Structure 1
């Protein structure tokens, strides 16, 4: 891309001093923190216009990439149905449709189709559209569903009579999408309401169908802003459950019998600092996944109903293991299914409750992603699970837990010229600077030359204990087919290697995340997978923080950077409790009101550490309505980089003026964003 003669926008410098702990930081671009200011909007539009001009020579290429990606997708497609109650539920796409249709059929898939929601019809007239989930009453006659048309994840709740097709007159605004639970009377529903300023869900309300939302009853308020809330109905249907979770610190579940909607939510076990747990109800007992007694990788326990308040009543079912993280459980009448993680891979373990015999599913690839699907019924010996790898499209299986027979129900169809045997995946390990072995999952098209001559895109996230497993992407084929390798660095801060992997990549250990990524980059260069002038890095949100940190530490390693919705102004954001989600993040990053955390955070915060040096080519993306990483973080970062960087490399920012954290909402529209990103890196090779 030739940018000669095109002038980049320059944001005015307006010094804004901020002092804490006797330390003053001066933010020259703090003024961008006001989306109502016409000067701010004008600057964002100027950045968009500049990006458009610089990228204009790639317009035809972007369109080619978009059509290529779109062409691999089967437009008329359907999910694998699941049985719940009297109905089989599924979703399907129509040709040309951007959004799914949610459907059901009674008793048999040969029955007449009933369309619950038509996403394409509901989305008409909206630049952004998202269905936040739906829930159906026990009598299967009333549908509760939610919609967001702003991209702030504030969902409006609607009710539909499935017998008449008519909507009930009431709507409920500012709800948490998907966090709804019907009581057994088919008239009462519970929901979470979000604070309009912080966007945290902190209140549980009870609503009576056919009444105004103004009459709804507040049944619980979470007073601690560091706790995130959840709400739902347990698989057994006996209990409605409200959850308050302070990630890495403590959990509290509160239960209400669904048959008693006007009752009081009661704590399963009161919150206790350091104690985390999750529960599954079955018959007259609860299974408990917990870190009780320093079980850092969690263990499985059980307790009889109404005896949970005393942990001496909790009985061990699966002991804690140093090398295996217990990620989740699913309960069936005759089987327990454990989702475990070891050596950076998911393992599904099936235990026959009648015989106590157990086995693991065999997936047969060196790197993959697998997980338990939606299994709403206890009385079945079939486990629905999903599987994918860097070379295997997303697949859905039904697995007989007794006979160990596996039936492929559906594999994602990739249209056009695609043969998964043309691609190779490997599992590598890089030695970090402190001696830790960091796993890498890598994929490339066969014929890739490991002589340092070919390009590679390195991706990671590395925060919140969120593990990035090796997954298939049909869009990614557009890179692989053009000579790229793609590598996922399973760096600390995720949970790929167990809970300690996460603990060693957060708070005062956060720099391990950045150094792991850099050390993986150096390993890939040393082993001639690529070279400095062919290595690209990609990360979004907290992974965008990662991008900001690595280019401050080692800008020389990378030819180009893709930073999506990057969280780069760590100190300022963590000091501002009015910004959505801030208080709940202190256990991830630390509270900078304490000097120890302030000093450490300031030492790596990308925005605070931009200096006068050369930086790689960069494409930064954000959304004006982002509720998780506010648009002004990347905007300020780009402005400061423009001010201080000493190179002539490309620096672009695109702010989508109609979306938020997740970008475009349509099924195909999102590929336009991917095509832009790929055109950027491919044009630099």
Structure 2
């Protein structure tokens, strides 16, 4: 059955009830007919979502064979029984493994040896998928923990320095409220300690007597760091720090040298560090640079020649950030009087994204020419004329991602992850003193995958204002450049988040059906540095949306794609993007897949009591206090700019327990679209009733979610069959 034929046989949806509700700000009144859907416990609302799911199933029933085919392809290409490369911490090698037929990972470890030979001691044991690992100890089996529960997700893991206790947190609803538990790894027993309603982030103190964790407030903002002392009632847990500014988030980490608790308070524009000496916590917190200085920075303590310093990655007079070395005592002085020594100078072409240390080296994460990479610099001579020059591993692909995966403080190696659009994930050990790479693993793709069958290349699309937008274009190598191919364009474009090159087994199912897959690195993301982000936020946010439309226009004239066969996809803030572009240029898209879409952003941000709303002011502006921001947002917020045009087919995919983008946003949006569209294409809402922001839990459930989204898009652009391979490639 063709896609067009399927459209003629669909049933009619049940119209949503309309209840007018007025919202007035800055002299403007908006009538919202679907705000009643926010009543999550309402039986009428539950019944409405169930009807929508039934309608969606009816509309997309013809896509079921395609969904099953894509799911099967993902499964067939995936090494289901697999292991990660063991990573050493103190006396153990830690790794995770998966088993065929099981939804969740299994966390394991084996004992390490200390022979006195650093190379031997830090070379991970060889583990082979499907073969027993001698001496293996299973710490946590997610499949056992998930039994009988509608949802399962781990929020964090931490092991004591001596390896005897494991702290972990689990979520069984999808709402990202976790329960913290402690397991004795020597006996296998759970301690009576159980802390409910914790957020992401947990860590043992170095002596193993306390667990630090974060707590969110009623609007889901992480605002407290607490300490639970093992064996004491939860009610006695100490509040180490509390942040009362509703526009700031709070997090923490243990320093690389395990001497300090580093508490971070901040937003996208400035930050503040409070530090706790873990050897003397009774001394309380010390502030490094106050938030009043309006500097965005990260801090890492280190000791040089016996003296305490901090390494600051900061934007003080450095839009793309730089790295400075500051003696610990300097922070007691006024900022103007402090002595800072430049370690990594500012560069307009290089974004410094972070820094950490081992006992011997500084490890940098930088972004250059859109590509994230890792650089290392010896600590010897740091901040002096004898300082060395940063070096980085050499890779031979144009579009790749190289990340720091692990850097144990005492290790002579750092662990790197590497991937590209064509290269499955690899794990390397980088020997710091030698500058050499040791390949530890490349993820296996079953079924005879050959990267030579595909092409990934950089294109540049001109925006209306003349800015060149980088595109990553991935396709089958044998596709003809005759303007006949279907395309799918994906983007995010917010919060300075970069859509970096990464391999995807699922994407192969689209490529093999002839779809040209394009990632648009639009403004609002971080791919081209801090200015790229700033040109796509607040009162420049519309650049994000017009960049995407301009990228779509370019794609349709590139010779690779038929302008009439383009689908678009994006999630969360990328879902807002989907709603905005389909209002701007509905005629350019055959289909839109909006995943957990933030499409009612103005309503949400106008109510600081709603989850995470106040934290959004630094990204979008504050429409509560600023009438210009209110006016500007109302001009692009998808829900409020739906207009009487022929919309393409649209799928809004959401989760009932999502705490980041509430289900009500896509529910309202779909109702408004259906009421307003002048076209006949189906507009559907699919709600995962037991899922969170990432959808259903479990890898097979996630694969089915991906297959559903991809089938919806592929069906719309007429790319349902796998293409036969040409004997010659057209590049």
Q: TM-score, normalised by structure 1?
A: 0.97
Q: Which of 316, 319, 329 matches 1:306? A: 329
Does the CA-based 8 Å contact 2:20-2:31 persist in structure 1? yes
- CA RMSD between the two structures: 1.4
Aligned counterpart, 1:280: 300
Q: Which of 308, 318, 331 is equivalent to 2:344?
A: 318
When structure 1 is superposed on structure 2, of 337-346 and 618-627 the one drifting more is 337-346
Q: Does 1:342 align with 2:356?
A: no
Partner SS, residue 266 of structure 1: strand
Aligned pairs, how many? 680
Structure 1 residue 677, shift from structure 2 partner = 1.4
Partner of 1:167: 190
2:702 alignment partner, one of 655, 661, 670: 670
- Distance, in Å, in 2 between the alignment partners of 1:42 and 1:111 is 53
Query: How far off its partner does 1:644 sit?
Result: 0.4
CA separation in 2, counterparts of 1:142 and 1:98? 25
TM-superposition CA deviations, 1:591-634 (whole Å, max 9, x none): 11110100000011111000111111111100111100000000
**CA displacement 1:507-534 (0-9 Å, x = unmatched):** 0000000011111111111112212321
Aligned residue among 149, 152, 157 for 2:172: 149
Distance, in Å, in 2 between the alignment partners of 1:273 and 1:223 is 18
CA contact (8 A) 1:467 1:495 kept: yes
Within 5 A, what are the aligned runs for 1:305-454? 305-310=328-333, 311=335, 312-354=338-380, 356-380=388-412, 382-454=413-485
Is residue 2:213 matched to residue 1:191?
yes
The one of 234, 253, 260 aligned to 2:255: 234
| Match runs of 1:632-647 below 5 Å | 632-647=664-679
Matching of residues 510-549 of structure 1 within 5 Å: 510-549=541-580
Aligned mate of 1:651, from 673, 683, 689: 683
The answer to whether structure 1 residue 629 and structure 2 residue 679 are counterparts is no
Mapped to 1, the partners of 2:705 and 2:225 lie a distance apart of: 37
Shift of 1:5: 5.2
After the TM superposition, which of the residue ranges 333-342 and 625-634 deviates more from structure 2?
333-342
Contact between 1:269 and 1:309, CA under 8 Å: does it hold in 2? no
- Structure 2 CA distance for aligned equivalents of residues 181 and 307 of structure 1: 29
Q: Give the alignment partner of residue 98 of structure 1, picking from 80, 95, 103.
A: 103
**Contact conserved, 2:393 with 2:436, CA < 8 A, in 1?**
no
* Aligned partner (choices 251, 274, 299) of residue 271 of structure 2: 251
Residue pair 1:539, 1:564 contacting (<8 A) in 2 also: yes
Alpha-carbon shift at residue 353 of structure 1 (Å): 4.0
Q: Contact between 1:181 and 1:231, CA under 8 Å: does it hold in 2?
A: no
Displacement of 1:273 in angstroms is 4.9
The correspondence for 2:203, drawn from 177, 181, 184, is 181
In the alignment, the residues of structure 2 paired with residue 415 and residue 648 of structure 1 have an alpha-carbon distance, to the nearest angstrom, of 41
Query: What is the CA–CA distance in structure 1 between the aligned matches of 2:194 and 2:701, rounded to whole Å?
Result: 29
List aligned pairs for 1:447-466, cutoff 5 A: 447-466=478-497
Measure the CA separation in 2 of the matches of 1:57 and 1:454. 22
User: 1:108-127 alignment to 2 at 5 Å?
Assistant: 108=113, 109=125, 112-127=135-150
The one of 4, 17, 21 equivalent to 2:22 is 17
Conserved? CA contact 1:185–1:259, under 8 Å: no
Query: 1:603 — aligned with what?
Result: 635
Q: Quick check: 1:141–1:162 contact (8 Å CA) kept in 2?
A: yes
CA distances 1:304-337 after superposition (whole Å, capped 9, x unpaired): 2333343422221111111211011232333322
2:724 corresponding residue in structure 1: none
**2: CA distance between counterparts of 1:260 and 1:273?**
28
Show the counterpart of 2:56.
Answer: 51
Could you tell which deviates more after superposition, 295-304 or 324-333?
A: 324-333
Question: Deviation digits for residues 275-318 of structure 1, max 9, x if unmatched?
Answer: 111011222221110011x2110010011233334342222111
Q: Is the CA contact 2:106–2:142 (under 8 Å) kept in the aligned structure 1?
A: yes
Once the 2 structures are TM-superposed, how far is the Cα of residue 60 of structure 1 from its aligned partner? 2.4
Q: Tell whether the 8 Å contact from 2:523 to 2:547 is kept in structure 1 after alignment.
A: yes
Q: What secondary structure, in the 3-state scheme, does the structure 1 residue paired with 2:556 have? A: helix
For residues 258 and 114 of structure 1, what CA distance do their matches in structure 2 show?
30
**CA distance in structure 1 between the partners assigned to 2:59 and 2:377 by the alignment:** 58
Unaligned runs of 5+ in 1: none
Offset of 1:379 from its aligned partner? 4.0
Q: Distance in 2 between matches of 1:463 and 1:582?
A: 15
Q: Equivalent residue of 2:169, what SS?
A: strand
Work out the CA distance in 2 between the residues paired with 1:146 and 1:494: 31
CA contact (8 A) 1:386 1:395 kept: yes
Contact 1:326 1:341 in 2 (8 A): yes
The Cα of 1:535 is off from its aligned counterpart by 0.7
Q: Does the 8 Å CA contact 2:80/2:100 hold for their aligned counterparts?
A: yes
Contact 2:373 2:401 in 1 (8 A): no
User: Equivalent residue of 1:225, what SS?
Assistant: coil
* Aligned with residue 27 of structure 1, among 29, 32, 38: 32
Q: Distance in 1 between matches of 2:641 and 2:497?
A: 26
**What is the CA distance between 1:670 and its match in structure 2?**
0.5
List per-residue Cα deviations over 1:12-46 (Å, max 9, x = no partner).
Answer: 11111111111100001111111111111111111
Deviation readout 1:533-568 (Å, 9 max, x if unpaired):
211110000000000000111111111111000001
- Which of 90, 94, 118 lines up with 1:89 in the alignment? 94
Deviations 1:336-393 (A, max 9, x none): 222211221123223234461433322221211111111122441x221111111111
> What secondary structure does 2:560 align onto?
coil
For the Cα contact (< 8 Å) 1:181–1:240, is it kept in 2?
Answer: no
State the TM-score, normalizing by the size of structure 2. 0.91
Q: Secondary structure at the match of 1:492?
A: coil
Q: Secondary structure at the match of 2:587?
A: helix
Contact map agreement 1:390 1:425 (CA 8 A) in 2: yes
The aligned counterpart of 2:120 is: none
Range with bigger deviation, 578-587 or 415-424: 415-424
The equivalent of 1:214 in structure 2 is: 235
1:274 deviation in Å?
2.5
TM-fit CA distance, 1:220: 1.7
- Structure 2 alignment gaps of length 5 or more: 114-124, 126-132, 381-386, 719-731
- Contact 2:557–2:563 (8 Å) recurs in 1: no
**In terms of mean alpha carbon deviation, does 183-192 or 117-126 score higher?**
183-192
2:95 equivalent to 1:74: no
